[in-house]
Amino acid sequence: MKKGALIPLIIFAVLVVFLGIGLGLKPREVPSPFIGKAVPEFRLPELMKDGESIAPADLKGEVWMLNVFASWCVSCRAEHEVLSNFINAEKVMVLGLNYKDEPDNAKKWLGALGNPYQHIAVDYDGKVGIDLGVYGVPETFVVDKKGIVRHKVTGPVYQETVRDTLLPLVLKLREEKV
């Protein structure tokens, strides 16, 4: 066989490898630039406690999660039960960020589905959402005791996400010393 005859085959093999890698990529999951950095500071009014406000600084010293949700968001409804079960079972401190939502709708939504959040910050105009790089609700950040973002889930949290990622991570972070 001539040497040149192999060239198309080689090109084909290289293409297959690249296309194969391409199939495995998830372009919707934009890596968060906040991983390993401090969670952005903000102070927002609490949804359920009139006159009070909440800031990430208030939660320092604890492993906590920030969950971005809204009553208009269908995937939030989908993840709500899984997330609530996890929060209640492991007693995870969770700050909910009510993103671009009418407070009344949010209260109704939580009334119907249950409220697993210890704190809920009202981000009515979505400015804090921009500061957090939120681009698809729901999003869930895991923050360590020092206030550093350690992980981010974009999109709904599934049972598998809890089992494979969130639960092991929260347990590990709780072991870390401040």
Partner 1 sequence: MKRFFLSLCLGLTLTAGLVTVQAETDILTFKSAEAEETYNGLIEELRCLVCQNQNLAGSDADLAKDLRSQVYDMVEEGRDRKDVIDYMVTRYGDFVLYRPAFQLKTLLLWLGPVVFLLLTLWLVTRWVRSQSVKPSETTLSDAQRETVRDLLDKHK
Residues that bind partner 1 in the complex, under the rule CB under 8 A: 27-28, 30-33, 100, 126, 129-133, 135-136
C-beta of 7 vs 13, nearer to partner 1:
7
Give the residue with the Cβ less far from partner 1, 40 or 114.
40
Both tokens of 12, joined, read 């084909």
Q: Residue 130 CB, nearest distance to partner 1 (Å)?
A: 6
Q: How far is the CB of 35 from partner 1 (least distance, A)?
A: 10
Order of all β-strands in the sheet with 119-123? 119-123, 93-99, 64-69, 139-143, 149-154
- How do strand 64-69 and strand 53-54 relate by DSSP bridges? unpaired
Least Cβ distance, residue 51 to partner 1 (angstroms): 27
Residue 168 to residue 47: CA distance in whole angstroms: 30
Nearer to partner 1 (CB atom), residue 92 or residue 122: 122
Give 72 or 158: the residue with its C-beta nearer to partner 1: 72
Closest to 98 (Cα-Cα) out of 64, 70, 128: 70
What is the enclosing helix (H) or strand (E) of 120?
Answer: strand 119-123
Question: Which is closer to partner 1, CB of 80 or CB of 152?
Answer: 152
Gyration radius (Cα) of the chain, Å: 21
Closer Cβ to partner 1, 46 or 131, answer by number = 131
How far, CA to CA in Å, does 155 sit from each of 10, 88, 141?
Answer: 39, 21, 11
CB of 118 to partner 1, least distance (A): 26
- Which residue is listed with tokens 């919707």? 28
Beta strands in the chain (DSSP E): 44-45, 53-54, 64-69, 93-99, 119-123, 139-143, 149-154
CB of 100 to partner 1, least distance (A): 7
Task: Kindly state the smallest distance separating residue 162's Cβ from partner 1, in Å.
Answer: 25
